[in-house]
Amino acid sequence: MTREVLTSKNSSDAMDDRRHLFPPFFDPVDMIGLFSSNSPLQDVLNTAEAYGLTFPLLFDPAVSLSGHMACSDYAPASARFGPFVDNVIGMNWQLPSGRVVRIGERVVKSTTGYDLLRFLLHSDGRYGQGKDYVLRLRPLAPSSVQLRFDGDATALFKLHQRLALGAWAHWLDRVDEIYRAGEAPFIEVESRCLKGEEELFLDYFRSTALEAGCRIAEAESTPLKMPVLSIKSTANTVDSLALRCCERFGTTCRALLFNGVVLVDLAVGDLNAFKQSHEIFLNALAKEVESYGGHLMGAAAPQPSVNPLERDWSARIEKAWGNL
């Protein structure tokens, strides 16, 4: 088939378009379903819950998935379930021309063609926008253990290393170090588990805290807010980065210890003022983390710089897709 045929917009193509779109569906066996990009995640949770499933990555159930993904690639539960892009397996994507195309699959595992899905999900609206997402849901473990660890910096660092390198790492749903202005940082963990297993988790946490020299407490978790800034960094820089941000911004910073991500809340005031007063710091921070493969994103992140090579690639893709 030639390119001309592929790009013509006749009526049979429109039929084909529809044939290839994701219809509304929910598959509890494969634990996937189609959800509108604008519907609040609470809708997803409600649908999933009826089947004993959940969508674990979220900050605020009232906000849509698009809203979530615009402010961070990672949520606390990414410690266990990976970034948002690994939990969206397909989508109906609206091109700038208005045509809607199916991207991705309705099965989790696929290596068919180029991975446009993850590329587009990270493209910040440059090439169109998601209309519906096929979300990957997870079994909802019926019980959970939630704890807070306090200690000095050395003890918390030891705890971080032990949790991250220990056999239980894969069973921790959230490992966050919380930095608040004027307070000592502390670590919060949450593990979802089966009924009757709570004591096993508690034993593990108690002994690990003891080894690291941390105090342990059952505590309400720090409320999650939609972050204004998300910094993708590495595991061994994430705590010092969170501390720096907390001191600089005077606001709550949450280090996702397993993912190497710092999430920055906006304390009060308006975003523009925040951006202006921290412009130089934010630009320097971006340069710093970019040098080892990280990035900044979210409403407060500076515009990413674009080198000529990338500008050319983007333009060529925009042109090709713009003609569709």
**Binding residues for other proteins restricted to 110-129, rule: CB under 8 A:** 110-119, 122-124, 126
C-alpha torsion angle, residues 84, 86, 87, 92 (rounded to 10): 90
> In the chain, where do the E strands start and end?
26-27, 32-36, 53-54, 88-94, 100-104, 129-136, 138-139, 143-150, 174-179, 186-193, 215-217, 229-232, 253-256, 261-264, 295-297
Q: What's phi and psi for 29, nearest 5 deg?
A: -75, -50
Does 50 bind other proteins (CB under 8 A)? Our answer is no
Q: Which is nearer to other proteins, 60 or 197 (CB)?
A: 197
Does 310 bind other proteins (CB under 8 A)? Our answer is yes
Separation CA 104–CA 42 (nearest Å): 24
Interacting span for other proteins (CB under 8 A) from 40-48, 179-187, 246-254, 313-321: 313-321
Within positions 24 to 43, which residues make up the interface with other proteins, using CB under 8 A?
27-31
List 26, 36, 70, 82, residue binding other proteins (CB under 8 A): 82
Q: Minimal distance in Å, beta carbon 242 to other proteins? A: 14
Within positions 244 to 283, which residues make up the interface with other proteins, using CB under 8 A?
260
List 16, 211, 247, 279, residue binding other proteins (CB under 8 A): 16
Within positions 182 to 241, which residues make up the interface with other proteins, using CB under 8 A?
192, 194, 196-197, 200, 203-204, 232-236
Q: Which is nearer to other proteins, 181 or 306 (CB)?
A: 306
List 19, 98, 218, 270, residue binding other proteins (CB under 8 A): 19
Q: What's phi and psi for 246, nearest 5 deg?
A: -60, -45
Burial 136-156 (b: 16+ CB within 10 A, else e): bbbebbeeebbbbbbbeeebb
